[in-house]
Amino acid sequence: MAKASGPRPKPRPKEGKLSVYLYIPNIIGYVRVLMNSVAFAICFSNKRAFSVLYFVSFVCDAIDGWCARKFNQVSTFGAVLDMVTDRVSTACLLVVLSQVYRPGLVFLSLLALDISSHWLQMYSTFLTGKTSHKDVKDSTNWLFKAYYGNRMFMAYCCVSCEVLYIILFLIAKSQSSLVDVLLGTLQQVSLLSVLVALSLFGWAAKQLVNVIQMKAAADVCVLYDIKKKQKQ
């Protein structure tokens, strides 16, 4: 029997390194880095401009994820660029807050928790062979699963953190007392006090998730070592 003749499908062109670097979501990532660089360069001279640039950069974090899915341009480099930009941006803001509030150690401790929690989670992801650090289906903690399993809840917690930090920066005075500023703001009957209260709840939930995440990721690393020794 003769084989059916017809035009052969053209093979997909191979992607080079440059094409991946120029993915739309990755370009958005570069713009985020630029905006954050400018924002922190002017943070003490123009608080409002800093806040706008910082928040727009934060919003772009959601846009680049949408673009990656929309245009089928998901990449490991893009995921790493996204996470590094997020962590560095938040870390820089926490360092700034530690300089204008007392006790500054509060913000430095939050910085350490944020970085160590996410770094351990990423490392444990590679150890278990998962493709995403957000894959926590096997977790037994309901809050941890709810955070990564519900986009709306996760977005609320993340936005709450950034909004709270930006507000604290905007209303801060030199060497302000963190407790006094928070209590003074919450005691007022205003839109700002409502926004701070809502942000505090989401912020607290995210810090709790960070603690749970760090413990869960550390357990994965320990179990990996135990299994590795058992095979020897």
* Mean pLDDT value across the chain: 91
The reported pLDDT for the residue numbered 150 is 94
Region 208-223: mean pLDDT is: 95
The reported pLDDT for the residue numbered 175 is 81
Kindly state whether residue 13 falls inside one of the protein's structural domains. Answer: no
55 close to 166: Cβ distance less than 8 angstroms: yes
How many other CB atoms are there within 10 angstroms of residue 199's CB atom?
A: 22
Domain containing 212 — which CATH number? 1.20.120
Query: What is the rounded CA–CA span in Å between residue 232 and residue 228?
Result: 7
Kindly state whether residue 77 falls inside one of the protein's structural domains. Answer: yes
The reported pLDDT for the residue numbered 130 is 86
93 close to 108: Cβ distance less than 8 angstroms: no
DSSP three-state, residue 177: strand
Kindly state whether residue 3 falls inside one of the protein's structural domains. Answer: no
Kindly state whether residue 8 falls inside one of the protein's structural domains. Answer: no
pLDDT in tens, 57-106: 999 998 999 999 999 999 989 988 998 999 999 999 999 999 999 999 99
Domain that holds residue 91: 20-231
Per-residue pLDDT band at 232 (split at 50, 70, 90)? confident
The reported pLDDT for the residue numbered 11 is 52
List the single range of 24-33, 102-111, 133-142, 144-153 with lowest mean pLDDT. Answer: 133-142
Residue 144 host element (H or E): helix 142-149
Tell me the residue length of the chain.
Answer: 232
Kindly state whether residue 6 falls inside one of the protein's structural domains. Answer: no
Kindly state whether residue 70 falls inside one of the protein's structural domains. Answer: yes
Residue 176 host element (H or E): strand 176-177
The reported pLDDT for the residue numbered 17 is 83
Residue 187 clears pLDDT 50, i.e. is over it: yes
Kindly state whether residue 204 falls inside one of the protein's structural domains. Answer: yes
Question: Within 13 A of 20's CA, how many CA atoms are on the CB side?
Answer: 11
The reported pLDDT for the residue numbered 5 is 53
The reported pLDDT for the residue numbered 144 is 95
Kindly state whether residue 192 falls inside one of the protein's structural domains. Answer: yes
Q: Percentage of the chain with pLDDT > 70?
A: 94
Give me the number of domains the chain comprises. 1
The reported pLDDT for the residue numbered 218 is 95
The reported pLDDT for the residue numbered 13 is 56
The reported pLDDT for the residue numbered 101 is 95
The reported pLDDT for the residue numbered 58 is 94
pLDDT in tens, 14-67: 667 889 999 999 999 999 999 999 999 999 999 999 999 999 999 999 899 999
Residues assigned a catalytic role = 86
The reported pLDDT for the residue numbered 35 is 97
User: Beta 176-177 vs 101-102: how paired, if at all?
Assistant: parallel
Per-residue pLDDT band at 1 (split at 50, 70, 90)? very low
216 close to 135: Cβ distance less than 8 angstroms: no
How many other CB atoms are there within 10 angstroms of residue 220's CB atom?
A: 17
List Cα–Cα distances, 98 to 39, 104, 111, in angstroms.
17, 4, 10
